[in-house]
Amino acid sequence: MKHIYLNLKRFDIPGEYGGVNSLCPAPEYGSTIIRSVQDALSVYDPDETDFTIFFPEAHILSAVSAKNPDSALMIGAQSADRADTAPGGNFGAFTSRRPAAAVRALGCEAVMIGHCEERNEKRQLLRDAGVSDEQASAVINKALNDEIRCAVSRGLKVLYCIGERSEEQERWQEVLQAQIETGLQDIDRTGVVIAYEPVWSIGPGKTPADRPYIDKVARFIHSLDLQLDVVYGGGLKKDNAEMLASIEDISGGLIALTRFAGDIGFYPDEYLEIIRLYTGK
């Protein structure tokens, strides 16, 4: 099974506010993207490839409303809180937070947990509190385990992101194994997919991880006998789509921006082109 994910981060913010959205007015963002891609994706066999788009929460409802009943798309949220609502317990005191119950009630089928940007934000808070880097890693992995548990209990599929930073490269196996073992401890993994993000290679001016490195890491993850699919979370794009498709132990990828020069941003026609390049269809 192949999995193609799209993480729209905060690409809905228009240029006049410092963002990269030139696609449509922000209130129409979710519905515009779904209507622009769902018909084209219907040509793919759902038993061979699935497609998930992770929206900022503000756009989930309009995306769900624009989705056809027989659409090949799954709509996801960009995180879930580590606590949830419960009968006789917390029924909604989650100001600024996103419990899994809300994600499900809004119409989502999936959630992304552990993205490097989420890990970095948690790490910065712990660093500000004087927590050592090693202790911070353990705390973050446990917090993400709580998030995954809440998401799974609500029947949400989970894309669990793992990856090593530049200062962790020499011990990448230890780092990734800890993220996997703690993050997925006592979790029903039926609906879980792992996304590998080489954090050290992501961003302007950095050298992208090459095929041998990605292949090496994917083989290591599979060697842990998790019985889970692994996708490339470091950015599936036009430049690397065919290369990633050639790696046997990689079962898809995570798309974000589709254009990195000129009018930088996300463009639905370019998203569809990346999928064509990856699938060869």
CATH of the domain at 106: 3.20.20.70
Q: Which of 213, 227, 214 is nearest to 180 (CA)?
A: 227
Q: Which of 3, 59, 115, 118 does the annotation list as catalytic?
A: 115
Rounded Cα–Cα distance for residues 30 and 221 (Å): 34
- Is 168 tagged catalytic? no
Catalytic residue among 109, 118, 147, 197: 197
Q: Rounded distance, CA 161 to CA 3, Å?
A: 14
pLDDT tens sequence across 42-54: 999 999 999 999 9
Is the pTM higher than 0.85? The answer reads: yes
Two tokens at 179? Answer: 């993220």
The pLDDT assigned to 171 comes to 97
pLDDT at site 186: 97
pLDDT for the residue 203: 84
What's residue 83's pLDDT? 97
- Burial (Cβ within 10 Å: 0-12, 13-18, ≥19) of residue 250: buried
pLDDT on residue 205: 82
How many domains, in total, are found in the chain?
1
Domain range for 117 is 2-279
Q: Show the low-confidence residues of the chain (pLDDT under 70).
A: none
Is residue 115 annotated as part of the catalytic site, yes or no?
yes
**65 CB contacts (<8 Å, ≥6 apart)?**
31
Nearest 5°: CA angle at 111, between 11 and 266? 20
